[in-house]
Structures are given as structure tokens and as C-alpha cells.
Amino acid sequence: MNDLIDRLKRLDIKEEIKNLFELIETFYENYKEANSQKLRLIDTFVVFSFLVFCVQFVYVFFNGLDPMNSFLSGVMACIGTMVLLVCLRLHVNPKTKLPTDSPEKVYAEYLIASFILYFVCINFMG
């Protein structure tokens, strides 16, 4: 136990934060080099959809489940959007796409699936 306390006393927080920021910067630079702008845009939309899901969850946590259908519809829309975007990313990424996939077909499938998802979510709200 004393060994752990001694290590914690010697721990330099500023150095650890600096190392953390260097790690994040290296990760981001490698991510930018490995992915095209199109894939980064899709990833940004996935993160945005996840953040909207988190905001909805926090709102319900503090305010209650009064409009239950609206909450479920919003959660279904966020999670469905994330799933559809991950599928779109897999089909658009040159490393993972199938040779039979044309870009027009992939985007058309995404748009049709999104339309169906949002139609179901709006109808579920009532």
C-alpha cells in the first residue's frame, strides 16, 4: 500500500496530460491519413447521432418518461441512423467494399433505408 502511495506522490500530472494530448494528436493524424474526407464525414455524423442519443437519455433521466413514445422514437432514430451509417461506411470504404457495389446503388439503398426508418419513427410518435 505504501508503494502505491509513493508512486502516486511521484506522479507528474502535467506530464501525463501532455502525453495524453500527444497520443490524441497522433491518433488524429493517423486517422486523417488513413481515411478519406468522405469517410471522416460519415464518422462525424455517427458521432453526432451518438451525442444526440446521449442528450435524449440525459433529458429523460432528469425529466422523466412523460412522452414515452417520443423518447423511444428518438432513440430508435438515433440508433437506426448510426447502424445505417456504419453500413454505408463499410460499402463506401475502398478497403471493405464489394466489387459488385456501385456508388449509386449504395447511396440509393442508404437513402431508401433512412426514409423507411424515419417514416417508422414519425408514425411511432403518434
Per-residue pLDDT of the chain (126 residues; tens, 9 = 90+): 667 666 666 667 778 788 889 999 999 999 899 988 999 999 999 999 999 999 999 998 888 877 888 889 999 999 999 999 999 999 998 888 888 888 899 999 999 999 999 999 999 887
Per-domain residue ranges of the chain: 38-125
What residues contact 49, with CB distance under 8 A and at least 6 apart?
78, 81, 82, 85
95 vs 90: CA distance, rounded Å: 8
> What is the pTM (predicted TM-score) of this model?
0.79
